[in-house]
Structure formats: C-alpha cells, structure tokens
Amino acid sequence: AAELEYESVLCVKPDVNVYRIPPRASNRGYRASDWKLDHPDWTGRLRVTSKGKTAYIKLEDKVSGELFAQAPIDQYPGIAVETVTDSSRYFVIRIQDGTGRSAFIGIGFTDRGDAFDFNVSLQDHFKWVKQETEISKESQEADTRPKLDLGFKEGQTIKLNIGNMTTKKGGAAKPRASGSGSLSLLPPPPGGKIAVPPIPPPSSTAIANHVTPPPVQKSSNASNEDVLLDLDAPASAPKAPASATTDLWGDFSTASSAVPNQAPQQSSWVQF
C-alpha cells in the first residue's frame, strides 16, 4: 500500500526565511521578537506536500531545487509545527534528517497572505485525514456486526392485499357493491343449486277483479243451463253480438209480449 501512495503538492511559496532560534525559556511559547529578523540564516523556497496521511514541509533552493531540510508532520496543530505568540507570519518547525536527528528552527514569510495559505493547507490536509479515519472505522465496525438476513426461509410465504379485494385459495372473491344504495347478494355456496322461488298466492286485487255472476232464479231448466254456460265461459271474453235481423225480430217479439192482453175492440164490420 505504501508503494502505491503518491506525493501531492499542497502549497508552494517562493520566498521563505529560516532562522536559528534560542531554546525556549518557559512554557509560554516562542516569540519572534527574540530572533534576528533582519538577518535570516537561510532564504529559499517552501513546498508543502503530502504522501498518504503524512504531510511534509520541504525547504528547497530557489534555483537548483536542492533539498535543504524537511519536517514530517503527523498532526496539526502539534509539536512538529507551532505558531509564535507575537506574530502570525512566523512559525517554529521541527526538521529531521534520515538518521533520526531533529532540530527546531524558525521560518517566516514577508507577506501575511503566504503565511495564511501555509496554515490553511495544513489544516485542510489533516481535516481530510480525520474524515478518512472515521470512514474506515465505520466500515470496520459494519463488517464485524452480524448481518441481517432478510431472505425468505424455506416454505415461508407472504400475503399481499391488492386494493380492497382479498381472495382465498379454493374460493371466489366477494363482489363489490356498485353503490352505497345498491343491494348486493351473496353468491351460492360451491356445488349448491339455486332454489326456484315459490309462486306467490293470488293477491286480493286479482280476487277483486273476478266478477261473480248474479244469482239466477231457478225457474226453468233453460235458465240453469244458461247460468252454467256463463260460469264456464271466461269473464273477459265478451258475448258475440247477435245479428241485426235476429235483434230486430227479437225487439218486436219482446214488445208484443210485453203488452198485456186487451179486450178486442168492437168494430163496425159485421163478422160473418
């Protein structure tokens, strides 16, 4: 993994001054006013690079690019880089060589904006390192947690309700009512027969419409036969009208029979 890591440049400042600093007299911090600010011990170029999670402050020659000193930084703020108490343009860094020896030197920028960029580049790098550490920690914790098995077991089933219709195995779905006022009938049971509704008894209206023939006096046999014929014939069928000739002679005979017998009138004619 270390071989695959590449070095990236975070910040480059062309002018930086290097100072030899006296030992710190107390725990209150370093003061730039104790240094010989008008006579820097070395002047060159500063580059801030990163490789993996470690940042490097490299002091290089302006012309040849030869490395003068470098300071590896594991955390910021920390002992590897400290600010002075009386200025924002000066810092104290801990440089190391390949043999393990280390020393503290002071660096300073003539422009305040260069000092600000140097400070921000280190802050952004270690903010990214902190986020990467938290993400890797969460991923490791997720791997160690027991995984939740959401798969179906053998023979396990689920039931789905689609709309308001529920069906059962081997049965039919219940019909939905067409409206709030409609009457819904239940279907017949499986394998059953539909019963024929019974014939309703005659209503009182039908009985009232039936015409009862008037009573007839039992005077003769002919009248009895007429009554029987009237009963057998349907009430709705009207009697066939008699012919005009029969009605005419019937009227005359009826009229003649209705006149009472009168005494014969006397006439002036002599009967022989």
pLDDT at 228: 44
Q: What 8-state DSSP symbol labels residue 237?
A: S
Give mean pLDDT, residues 9-29: 88
In the block, residue with structure tokens 């779905």: 173
* Whether residue 222 has pLDDT greater than 50: no
Distance of CA 201 to the CA centre of its chain: 60
pLDDT at 140: 74
In this predicted model, what pLDDT tens digit does every residue of 154-213 receive, in sequence order? 888 888 888 766 555 555 555 555 555 555 566 666 665 555 566 666 555 555 455 555
What string of DSSP letters covers 119-146?
A: HHHHHHHHHHHHHHHHHHHHHHHHHHSP
Other beta carbons within 10 Å of 248: 11
Domains of the chain: 7-131 (2.30.29.30)
Q: What 8-state DSSP symbol labels residue 243?
A: P
Contact in structure between 88 and 112 (CB atoms under 8 Å)? yes
Higher pLDDT, 146 or 115: 115
What does the mean pLDDT of the chain come to?
A: 73
pTM for this predicted structure: 0.51
pLDDT at 243: 47
Give mean pLDDT, residues 261-271: 51
Contact in structure between 86 and 96 (CB atoms under 8 Å)? no
Q: What is the b/e burial string over 211-243, where b = at least 16 CB atoms within 10 angstroms of the residue's CB?
A: eeeeeeeeeeeeeeeebeeeeeeeeeeeeeeee
Could you tell me the pLDDT band of residue 272, with boundaries at 50, 70 and 90? very low
Higher pLDDT, 126 or 241: 126
User: Hey, what long-range contacts does 215-220 have (CB within 8 A, 24 or more apart)?
Assistant: none
Higher pLDDT, 20 or 164: 20
In this predicted model, what pLDDT tens digit does every residue of 57-108 receive, in sequence order? 999 998 888 999 999 999 888 889 999 988 899 999 999 987 878 999 999 9
In this predicted model, what pLDDT tens digit does every residue of 42-69 receive, in sequence order? 999 999 999 988 999 999 998 888 999 9
Give mean pLDDT, residues 241-270: 50
